[in-house]
Each structure stands twice: as structure tokens, then as C-alpha cells.
Amino acid sequence: MRRHLNRVATAAVGLAVLISGSSARAADCEEIVGRHMVGEALLAAHFVAIAEKAGMSAAEINAILKQVAEKSAIEEFWISDPSGRAYLNNSGIDFTFDPDPAKQPQASQFWPLIKGEKGIVIQETRKREIDDRVFKYVGVAGVDKSRIVQVGASAANLPACK
């Protein structure tokens, strides 16, 4: 089982490498990067579902997410429970998604993934709420239960768009 999980993690790294080699016109760049990140988020969603079904602990899953982030352009993974608490992540930051845009203008956009109202959310590159760094985030709904599976890359790891 661990070998299968490592293959999933390796595939996610491969997709992230594709992003770093992309060059496109500015008008197309956000869309292209977003599509690549959707693939990464979907792989993460499947990986987490398989890992939890196999009985892996949150600490073991987080260690793999950290390894993937260290080797790719995807810097962050935020994977929530049905209440929005990101109990799986590679940052160690305690974060809970809130549905109220007045409280979380940026992060609340992902709440429809928990409610089943959307399957994919691709957010434009923008300042995030927790520290004003510029990031692009993409999220998908959980494949096994109600949750947010989000990947993020900072502006420094996004391709130059011309």
C-alpha cells in the first residue's frame, strides 16, 4: 500500500513540474496554471481518500504532503474535514475555512466544495488573508466525503506569463 501511495505522490510532483515549464500569454496563463493545479488537487483528494482508508494517521499523511511540497511548485496543501478545519496540511498552521465572506473574503470562496455546490474552485492569483503573500489556490471537493482539498502556489513558483 505504501508503494501505491508513493506513486500517487510522485505523480503529483510530475504535474507540478509541468507548471514550472509552462509559458503562455498573460490572458491564457491563469487558465493553464489553474487546470494543472486542478489535476494536482484531484490527485491529492484521491491520495487522502486512499491513505485514510488504508489506516494512515494524519501525521503520516502530512509527512507525505510535506515531501511533495518540498519537491514541487505546489507549496501548500489544505485538506479539511466536513466542518472546514484543515486537519491535513504541510504547513502545521491551524486553519479553518469559514463560509462567511465578511470573515474570510479569500478562503470562503472554497466553502461550496464542502456543501457539494461546486466540484472545483479555481481562484485567481491574489493576496491571501493569513499573511498578505500572493498565492494562487485551487480546490476540489473530497472524493470520499464532504471536504475541501486545496493546493496553493505562491507567485514565486508560478510561471512567468508573457
pLDDT, one tens digit per residue, over 65-101 is 999 999 998 999 999 999 999 999 999 899 999 999 9
Q: pTM, whole model, 2 decimals?
A: 0.82
Q: Which domains does the chain have, with CATH numbers?
A: 2-157 (3.30.450.20)
Rounded to whole angstroms, the Cα distance separating 66 from 59 reads: 10
CB of 79 closer than 8 Å to CB of 148: yes
Rounded to whole angstroms, the Cα distance separating 9 from 49 reads: 13
At a CB cut-off of 8 Å and minimum separation 6, what does 63 contact?
Answer: none
CB of 133 closer than 8 Å to CB of 127: yes
Q: How confident is the model at residue 132 (pLDDT cuts 50, 70, 90)?
A: confident
